[in-house]
Amino acid sequence: MTYVDTFDWRLYRDGSRLATAVEDGDLTLLWRPPGDGSFCRLPIDRQPDFVWDLPEGTIRGQIESSVEMRRLLPVAEVFLQGTVWNVIDRRQKILLTFVLECGTAVNPIDPERKLRLPAALRVIPVKGYGDVYRKTLAAIEREGAKADSSCPLELALEIFDRRPLAEVAKPAHDLKPDLRGDLAMKSVHRRQLLAMQRNLEGLRRNVDTEFLHDFRVAVRRTRSALAQVPEVFPRAVTGRFRRGFSWLGQATGPVRDLDVYLLSLPRYAGDLPEELRPALAPIDRYLRRQHRLEHRRLVTSLGTSRFRQMIEAWEKFLDREAPPRTSLRNATRPIGELAGERIRRAHRRVIKQGKSIKDGSPPQRLHRLRIECKKLRYLLEFFAPLYAEQDVRRLVGALKKLQNNLGDHNDYVLQQQSLHAIVDGLSGSGPVPEATRRAVQEVLRQLEERQRVTRKAFQSRFKQFSDRKVSAVFDRLFGEARA
Amino acid sequence: MRVIAVYSIKGGVGKTSTAVNLAYLSAKSGARTLIWDLDPQAATTFYFRVQAKVRGGSRKLVHGKKSLDRLIRGTNFDGLDLLPADFSYRNIDLELDAAKQPKKRLAKRIRPLSEDYDHLYIDCAPGISLVSEGIFAASDALLVPTIPTTLSVRALAQLLRHMKKHRPRHLRVLPFFSMVDRRKAMHREISARRDGDGAQFLESQIPYSSQVERMGTHRAPLATYAAGCDAAAAYEKLWHEVLGQTGSWFAWFRQDRFGF
């Protein structure tokens, strides 16, 4: 059987297991809920790549919220053979099962590597017969033996030396309020650079959209930090890297856009009447073709010396010691003071722009506000260690709600525009089937409706964010008095 | 968790075999399934080879504070658990009568199980009583096996009349023909009508079959020992139909709002 999980081990972290296996000639999905010993089984017709490839039902419903749009990757393959003994009562009711299991594990990253798993004696309890289970375990222990409770996945991961949880751990981010501004910002930037470097390989291999997404977030944060906290690095440095990262943002844009369309297509399809759903297939094919093309282009860009040199130079700059004396206004200011000032400014801008948006304002105004919110959010996150966790969480939470509204609105607007562009692109390579046009019309209608609903909700969301209570927390944390 | 009660005012109509077979099919499809034997005759419990004894009996069942979870027994089948019956369940009515809000009591006892199970099938005792009212309140659908005979159809009509006034809003009543004997003219005649007397029968019909009766000797769901027989295929069809009617939220919504 092949265990699958997302690249960041979401199922493993939940304590559940998902696998596919061929049982009696049929492809079967196996799912073990968190903390429970036995697998639920479901016949499937193909190996799932995403959660929406699974048939609708219990298993999908249970894992959907944690897996989301992440790709399901094979994490380990095990071939198991077992002998089963059931302990039964006089009614032939099974009270307990023994399984003597042996097998081999294959490393999915390097299929040539096969290792024999140690033989395991498993004692599988039956619900409601806990006393039989406990007595059996005690009897086995008296004999000096031990029942095996490890799962084959854990054994396989152990022998291949893969540590699921370590791969998602984040480095500690330590900022003190009296740290010099330039040093503090270097620490902020170093984290972003690390995030880029970590996601680079996955992005190149295109195993999951999340690598590119995280990479782009780190790029955006870097750009935002360079622009939002000025006068900490020499102007030439700031200018050079602002240009460099802006280029990187643009280079990664098309693939990300296509990722978003491909991820949202099944959702659109789900909202269509059943007979129209297949009509979206040409769009899907077209997007995939474009995606392959753009991804190749992106990998080429990431292989250029321009990219390599820029990252190397940036890394070198971040590692360089700060000059003891400088004419830069913010370089030697304590970060506690600087952070408060920048956040205050960003907050003010959000409030000002938000207030100026009326019911009839064009979507571009909301988009601009969305960008301002992002800037504020990044600042709050960069400097979170300087403030009480609870306060920052509250502010970020309030901001997030507003951002979700603005983000959704922007998505609906953009997706309508891009659907038109996609249909245009599609018609360039041949006539577009009538059913596809109709399906697109229907999707457009739904997007417009959703846009209308989110737009309507904007005022109340903004009101919540600009509420006196939230503003009071901003004032208390970043207010004049503190600076 | 979808709660599907297999219920009929009349006895001997195939409630237990329906509940057992549908629950088995549900578990086989990957849904975490529980079957609750509320009939003091304990036939379902017998089929699953479990002792028909429940600690605390009907009193603890109704008034108990502890979760029903500790009374659940795993069956010999993956993903299918059983809440066994007890002979004292003949007194549940009396216990419910003494409880506060007796009609809501069973629903309240079931609620904590919804985390662990996707489907709950209830095998009910025949008759109409406070227990049945409690089951109506706790269930999403009421599957009513009906033999195509005058008495059985009359019992269904009785139930539907009762439902006209007392049906909880969320409850759907799904009658279907059971133990249909095609050799009998009356069975053929009655089962040919899918509506009438205010009833809308499901399309699936379970034929009369000696294989179903043999469940008592095999003490197992039909599909485990006679998967190829007509009755097994009919249960499979019935299960799909019930799932179609109760499976997705949309189906429920549609039914509730638009009645089709």
Each domain of chain B, given as residue ranges in start order, spans 2-258
Give chain A's length.
483
Over residues A416-431, the mean pLDDT reads 86
> Residue A111 is inside which H or E element, if any?
none
Q: Interface of chain B against chain A, CB under 8 Å? A: 28-32, 48-51, 71-74, 76, 78-79, 81, 118, 219, 248
Amino acid at B29: S
Q: Do B49 and A39 touch (CB under 8 A)?
A: no
Q: Which CATH superfamily does the domain covering B2-258 fall into?
A: P-loop containing nucleotide triphosphate hydrolases (3.40.50.300)
Cβ pair A442, A269 in contact under 8 A: no
Residue A77 has pLDDT above 50, yes or no: yes
**Chain A residues near residue B47 by CB distance under 8 angstroms:** none
Residue B72 and residue A128: Cβ atoms within 8 Å? yes
The fold of the A181-478 domain, in CATH, is CHAD domain (1.40.20)
Inter-chain touch A40–B79, beta carbons under 8 Å = yes
- What backbone torsions phi and psi does residue A158 show, to the nearest 5 degrees? -65, -45
* Chains A, B: CB pairs < 8 Å: 53
Smallest CA–CA distance from A34 into chain B, residue: B116
**Token pair in block for residue B72:** 């659940």
Residue A27 contacts B, CB cutoff 8 Å? no
Nearest to A219 by CA among A183, A201, A195: A195
pLDDT, greater one: A262 or A172: A262
Question: What DSSP designation does A412 have?
Answer: H
Give the residues of chain B that fall short of pLDDT 70: 196-198, 247-260
Q: Are strands A73-88 and A2-5 parallel, antiparallel or unpaired?
A: antiparallel
Indicate the DSSP class of residue A168.
Answer: G
CB contact at 8 A, B178 and B21: no
Helix (H, G, I), strand (E, B) or coil at A325: coil
Could B50 and A93 be called an inter-chain contact, meaning their C-beta atoms sit closer than 8 Å? Answer: yes
State the angle between helix axes of A281-303 and A434-465 in degrees (0 to 180), rounded to the nearest 10. 60
Confidence at A36, pLDDT banded by 50, 70, 90: low
A56 touches chain B (CB under 8 A): yes
CA distance, residue B16 to nearest chain A CA (Å): 19
Closest residue in A to B34 (Cα) is A127
- Pairing assessment for the beta strands B33-37 and B2-6 based on DSSP bridges: unpaired
Q: What is the pLDDT of residue A165?
A: 60
Interface residue A437 vs chain B (CB under 8 A): no
Q: What is the pLDDT of residue A181?
A: 93
Encoding tokens for residue B67? 């979760």
Residue B245: predicted pLDDT: 78
**Statement: residue A65 has pLDDT above 50:** yes
Of B76, B219, B248, the CB nearest to A94: B76
Q: According to the CATH classification, is domain A2-166 in 2.40.320.10?
A: yes
CA–CA distance, A180 with A333 (Å, rounded to integer) = 6
Q: Which of chain A's residues have a Cβ under 8 Å away from the Cβ of B249? A: none
Q: Decide if A19 touches B, using CB distance below 8 A.
A: no
Asked if A40 has any chain B CB less than 8 Å from its own CB, the reply is: yes
Q: What is the mean pLDDT of residues A89-94?
A: 94
Q: Is the dihedral of CA B42, B43, B46, B50 positive or negative?
A: negative
Span A312-320, average pLDDT: 95
Please give the pLDDT value at position A164: 66
A58 → closest Cβ in B32, B49, B78 = B32
What is the SS3 assignment for A107? coil
- Chosen from B1, B45, B49, B240 to mutate, greatest number of chain A CBs within 10 A: B49
User: Which of A103-112, A204-213, A427-436 is the least confident region?
Assistant: A103-112
pLDDT in the model for residue B251 = 39
B118-157 residue pLDDT tens: 899 999 999 999 999 999 999 999 999 999 999 999 999 9
Answer whether A58 touches B (CB < 8 Å). yes
Give the pLDDT score at A479.
79
Contact (CB, 8 A) for A180 and A21: no
Does residue A481 have a pLDDT over 70?
Answer: no
Under an 8 A CB cutoff, do B30 and A41 touch?
A: yes
Sequence ranges of the domains in chain A: 2-166, 181-478
B155 φ/ψ angles, rounded to the nearest 5 degrees: -65, -40
Residue A332 has pLDDT above 60, yes or no: yes
Q: Across chain A, what does the average pLDDT equal?
A: 88
Q: What is the pTM of this model?
A: 0.65
**Interface ipTM:** 0.85
- Asked if the Cβ–Cβ distance from B78 to A38 is below 8 Å, we say yes
Q: Give the tens place of pLDDT for each residue, A145-201.
A: 888 777 788 878 877 777 666 554 455 567 899 999 999 999 999 999 998 988 888
Write b or e for each residue in B85-98: b if 16 or more Cβ atoms lie within 10 A of its Cβ, otherwise e. Answer: bbebbebbbebbee
pLDDT of residue A81: 86
Of A57, A126, A128, the CB nearest to B29: A57
